[in-house]
């Protein structure tokens, strides 16, 4: 299947995802209003094929070009750095370790507000009723 059937947004999503962005971040970077649409994009055969083609091309890139591309850290390298910083021990100050933990937690959705999802509001309309 040819990548010519992909829209520009879909191609941009694939590029962002291939660089190591999370699915929702890649969808937002591509211009989709709903970041969760990225999960639906990954289910499309043409998207998976294009990503596989990109990966195949990347593995055949000359070493000089790979060195040039190495200037930008991929997502997994960033996550590894943050994890290492968070676990830094005594040689890393606590403020830096806490910030790394916060960034990792945000990335993994650890701070989602469960209270808003699990709480209910009960409204009792007793205005205008007379007790008697």
pLDDT digits (tens, 9 = 90+) for 49-75: 888 888 887 766 555 555 555 677 777
What are the residues whose beta carbons fall under 8 Å from the beta carbon of 111, sequence distance 6 or more? 105
As a whole number of angstroms, the longest Cα–Cα distance in the chain is 89
Assign 3-state DSSP to the chain and report helix, strand, coil percentages, each to 5. Answer: 65, 0, 35
Domain boundaries, the chain: 1-69, 73-122
According to CATH, what is the number of the domain 1-69? 1.10.10
pLDDT digits (tens, 9 = 90+) for 94-119: 899 899 898 888 887 777 665 555 66
The answer to whether residues 85 and 96 touch, using CB atoms and an 8 Å cutoff, is yes
**Percentage of the chain exceeding pLDDT 90:** 4
Q: Of 46, 26, 43, nearest to 34 (Cα)? A: 26
Q: What span, in angstroms and rounded, lies between the C-alpha atoms of 119 and 127?
A: 24
Whether pTM > 0.85 for this model: the answer is no
């Amino acid at each position: 299947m040819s990548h010519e059937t992909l829209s520009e947004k879909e191609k941009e999503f694939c590029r962002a995802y291939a660089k190591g962005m999370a699915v929702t971040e890649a969808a937002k970077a591509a211009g989709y209003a709903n970041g969760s649409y990225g999960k639906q994009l990954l289910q499309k055969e043409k998207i998976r094929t294009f990503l596989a083609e990109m990966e195949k091309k990347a593995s055949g890139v000359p070493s000089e070009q790979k060195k040039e591309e190495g200037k930008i850290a991929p997502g997994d390298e960033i996550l590894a750095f943050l994890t290492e910083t968070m676990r830094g021990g005594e040689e890393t100050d606590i403020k830096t370790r806490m910030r790394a933990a916060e960034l990792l937690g945000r990335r993994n959705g650890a701070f989602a507000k469960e209270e808003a999802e699990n709480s209910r509001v009960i409204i009792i309309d007793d205005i205008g009723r007379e007790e008697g």
